[in-house]
């Protein structure tokens, strides 16, 4: 087996335009049916957690920094590996307190 056989395939895409290189990141989905708009948040979260810099560049080019920022802001911090989250917060300039799990939530009140 050649080294290039293990390299992510950026030249081939599913019918919706998602590069084959994302197949391993989206292993829990039926890859051929992944629509990049309908599955935007899943693609972004999985890429931030497990993607290479080339994957990150693709989502930035595809969705834009602001859209990624908004996905980060509404997701729970527990959805990300700590190292991936720290890098994403720096790259997308999101204050840690802006993420959903970090916001103050009023305590439950029981009658």
Taken in order 49, 53, 54, 60, is the CA torsion positive or negative? positive
Residue 98, token pair as written in the block? 């802006």
pLDDT tens for the chain, residues 1 to 111: 444 445 678 888 788 889 999 999 999 999 899 999 999 999 999 999 999 999 999 999 999 999 999 999 888 888 999 999 999 989 988 877 777 655 544 444 544
Angle at 5 between CA 9 and CA 2, to 5 degrees: 150
Q: Retrieve residue 20's tokens.
A: 């084959």
């Amino acid at each position: 087996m050649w080294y290039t056989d293990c390299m992510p395939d950026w030249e081939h895409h599913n019918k919706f335009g998602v590069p084959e290189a994302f197949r391993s990141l989206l292993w829990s989905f039926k890859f051929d049916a992944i629509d990049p708009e309908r599955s935007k948040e899943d693609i972004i979260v999985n890429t931030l957690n497990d993607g290479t810099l080339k994957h990150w560049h693709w989502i930035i080019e595809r969705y834009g920094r602001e859209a990624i920022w908004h996905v980060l802001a509404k997701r729970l911090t527990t959805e990300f590996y700590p190292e991936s989250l720290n890098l994403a917060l720096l790259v997308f300039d999101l204050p840690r307190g802006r993420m959903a799990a970090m916001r103050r939530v009023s305590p439950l009140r029981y009658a």
